[in-house]
Amino acid sequence: MNIKDRIIQQAGRLFFQYGVKSISMDEVASSLGISKRTIYENFKDKEDLLLSYLKHEFEQRNQLVREFMEQCDNVIEVFLHIMEIHKTASFVNVKFYEDIYKYYPRVNAFLKNEHNKANDFLIKFLQKGIEQGVIRENLNVKVVAFLVEESTSVYIRASYLEKPPFSFSELTSTMMINFIRGISTEKGIKIVDEYLMKHQIEQ
Amino acid sequence: MNIKDRIIQQAGRLFFQYGVKSISMDEVASSLGISKRTIYENFKDKEDLLLSYLKHEFEQRNQLVREFMEQCDNVIEVFLHIMEIHKTASFVNVKFYEDIYKYYPRVNAFLKNEHNKANDFLIKFLQKGIEQGVIRENLNVKVVAFLVEESTSVYIRASYLEKPPFSFSELTSTMMINFIRGISTEKGIKIVDEYLMKHQIEQ
């Protein structure tokens, strides 16, 4: 991995865990054993670094979804694969999003734009599932696309809980399995159940 | 309706629509055609009025749930009845909750306590549904109880949307039907489908 990618990855990890504002460029540099100057040779400022990190994350996410869509027979299986990816994540420090909202307008605008693109994509994706007979045809896809994007906020608020009575992985799988079953036809639910049985996933 | 109840109802309506901070006791009084003195004879201050309103709302909600539980054969039907009630509500001004969080600590504590009670109740309620064979037995009830309470925040954030591409009623019914189907067994889903067909509800 080149130095630029290493900086992006480490900064992202620190921002996610402690928030953006509380992490200095010095801390990013020293945690990598490099000089602050090396960071500034690659990134204009902290907002630039944060934006590079998020762009990288979204590109990776979109690439994965494209791969899943090629590999999978139907929309339900794509959702289930995405669930598997999500489960390996962890609670994000609420300061991460609060800081972006308060202090980094360019990043905020970027997230808003990604959100809109994701919404448009999701509506088409759900309609494809309806054509495949795995998603209910009388489903209000606009509301459902909104709810999918909203799930990010559920994770954020769960990370506010002082003593969460469940793990991040339990939250993700229960939420996603319920969600997928909820929008599925009988045929879709069978695909879910077979997948869960095969992978022995808790629901 | 006595004057105290009339004040509570009108104040609640105004707070919901415009937020708490921006509504003065003068406005509550004049919108009812009464003097401000009459309000202060019944309520110590605005926080007292707001708290009375919320207590009244929660009592009504709990009373309704108790009635549904007596009338209905199973947990799924209770959920469906609750959905019908929710659908008649409307988007709340986000300032309503923001103001409570920022300026009314007693009300905030009250809401937190109600939230905890609702969570405990929901876990028992879901377990009853599992015994009835209408809710999936491998369901993580702690996560689901959290998600039910979280749905309030989804409504709040939907009211942030500049141009929501759906009505409040569409949001409520899609969200609740998906949710109920998601946690249901085959037997539970049949109850949902029959109910929707009978009441000709859009999904």
Domain positions in chain A are 1-61, 72-92+101-203
Beta carbons of A177 and A82 less than 8 angstroms apart: no
Residue-level pLDDT at A144: 94
The region that residue A33 occupies, defined by phi over 0 for left and psi between -120 and 50 for alpha, beta otherwise, is: left
DSSP label at residue A166: S
Residue-level pLDDT at B40: 97
Mean pLDDT in residue range A74-86? 90
The question of ipTM being above 0.85 is answered as: no
Closest CA to B28 of B1, B4, B10, B51: B10
Residue-level pLDDT at A125: 93
Shortest CB distance from B183 goes to which of A153, A178, A183? A178
A174:B143 CB<8 A: yes
Q: Predicted confidence band at A88 (pLDDT cuts at 50, 70, 90)? A: confident
B203:A136 CB<8 A: yes
Q: Which two tokens stand for residue B199?
A: 């009441």
Residue-level pLDDT at B42: 96
Shortest CB distance from A150 goes to which of B154, B170, B180? B154
Domains A1-61 and A72-92+101-203 share a fold: no
Residue-level pLDDT at A201: 61
Mean pLDDT in residue range A57-71? 92
The torsion defined by the Cα of B189, B148, A100 and A170, in degrees rounded to 10, comes to -70
Residue-level pLDDT at B59: 94
Residue-level pLDDT at B201: 61
Smallest CA–CA distance from B138 into chain A, residue = A203
DSSP label at residue B200: T
Shortest CB distance from B181 goes to which of A144, A158, A181? A181
Percent of chain A scoring above 70 in pLDDT: 97
Q: Which CATH topology does A1-61 take?
A: Arc Repressor Mutant, subunit A (1.10.10)
**CATH 1.10.1060 at B72-199, yes or no:** no
- Please determine, for residue A171, whether its predicted confidence score (pLDDT) is greater than 60: yes
**Which of A17-21, A42-46, A93-97 has the weakest average pLDDT?**
A93-97
- Residue B120, classed as helix, strand or coil, is helix
B139 vs A contacts (CB less than 8 Å): 174, 203
Mind telling me how many Å the CA of A139 is from chain B's nearest CA?
A: 6
Q: What is the DSSP string of B43-56?
A: -SSHHHHHHHHHHH
Mind telling me how many Å the CA of A36 is from chain B's nearest CA?
A: 39
Smallest CA–CA distance from B201 into chain A, residue = A138
Per-residue pLDDT of chain B (203 residues), as tens digits, is 899 999 999 999 999 999 999 999 999 999 999 999 999 999 999 999 999 999 999 999 899 999 999 999 999 999 999 888 887 777 777 889 889 999 999 999 999 899 889 899 999 999 999 999 999 998 999 999 999 888 877 877 777 777 888 888 888 889 999 999 999 999 999 999 999 888 766 55
Q: Pick from A174, A186, A197 the residue to mutate for testing the B interface (most B CBs within 10 Å).
A: A174
Distance CA A15, CA A7 (A): 12
pLDDT digits (tens, 9 = 90+) for A97-156: 889 999 999 999 999 899 889 999 999 999 999 999 999 998 999 999 999 888 877 877
CATH of domain A72-92+101-203: 1.10.357
Shortest CB distance from A143 goes to which of B142, B174, B181? B174
Closest CA to A180 of A170, A169, A193, A198: A193
Q: Predicted confidence band at A164 (pLDDT cuts at 50, 70, 90)? A: confident
B146 vs A contacts (CB less than 8 Å): 158, 165-166, 171
